[in-house]
Amino acid sequence: MSSKEELMKRLGIDIDSETLRLALTHRSYSYENGGIPTNERVEFLGDSILGFSVAEYLYKKYPDLPEGDLAKRRAAIVSTRALAIIARDLGVGEHIFLGRGEAQSNGANKASILADTMEALIGATYLDQGMDAARALVLRFVTPLLEDVRLLGAATDWKTVIQEEVAAKKLGDMRYQVTGSGPDHARTYEATLVISDEPYGSGHGPSKKEAEQEAARNSWLQLHPGEQIPRS
């Protein structure tokens, strides 16, 4: 099975090779290859389809929720973090056409690049297969994240949330202990939130920021055992 066929199988779609290549072409690759078309225009299209499809789904699924709550849930599951999780689960990164510099800096695992590529794949599906297929792709992979514990509260700035809580409860000084491992082009980070010299939640990620956000979220869970994590 070819690389293209494997990706199409994971996505559950079948789009032509030219449209797929366009969706997977990052601007860094275009710059190094004579300015060939990038995925930015089709990403723009996919972003609109994603937003509408999720809004329609939420409107129908939660008929009693006010507009503000619907907006918060939509923000959580169309966020960069949410789309990057989908892309990582599907192994999209290994198929993206990146320039040499971006590839060497672990661009295939960067949340922003993965999220943009997922939007481009949605747009490409629309161009090749139409709106029903594009909407089905969104419903298949994006809307289930409403029940995914990794993304409950994905739109929340957890570092700010935990900082405000520590201050309000006068729990003491807080800091993040961060370590990195792996080669420069594929660096990963682990962060642990320390409050009054006591370690709380830890987190991992391809950047210090993502690792610290996850550590802050896991610390919130530690401080609120048994409570449902907020969705906003």
* Mean of the per-residue pLDDT values of the chain: 87
Q: Same domain for 178 and 106?
A: no
**165 and 144 share one domain:** no
65 and 41 in a single domain? The answer is yes
- pTM over 0.85, yes/no: no
Q: Reading across the β-sheet that carries 198-205, which strands appear in turn?
A: 174-181, 188-195, 198-205
Same domain, 21 and 109: yes
The domain in which residue 170 lies consists of: 156-221
- CATH code where residue 42 lies: 1.10.1520.10
Amino acid identity at 9 = K
Is residue 31 within 8 A of residue 99, CB to CB? The reply is yes
Instruction: Cite the active site residues.
Output: 47, 119
Contact 200/218 with Cβ under 8 angstroms? yes
14 is in an annotated binding site: no
- Alpha carbon 217 to its chain centroid, in Å, reads 16
pLDDT digits (tens, 9 = 90+) for 34-93: 999 999 999 999 999 999 999 999 999 889 888 887 887 888 788 888 898 899 989 999
| Residue that finishes a domain, picked among 148, 179, 198 | 148
Residues 94 and 12 in one domain: yes
Q: What is the pLDDT of residues 80-102, one digit of tens each?
A: 888 988 999 899 999 999 999 89
67-100: b or e for each residue (b if 16 or more CB lie within 10 Å)? eeebebbbbbbbbbbbbbbbbeebebbebbbbbe
* Residue 116 annotated as binding site: yes
The CATH number that applies at residue 174 is: 3.30.160.20
Any known ligand binding at 119?
yes
Kindly report, residue by residue over 106-144, the tens digit of the pLDDT. 889 888 999 999 999 999 999 999 999 999 999 999 888
pLDDT value of residue 100: 92
Same domain assignment for residues 95 and 196: no
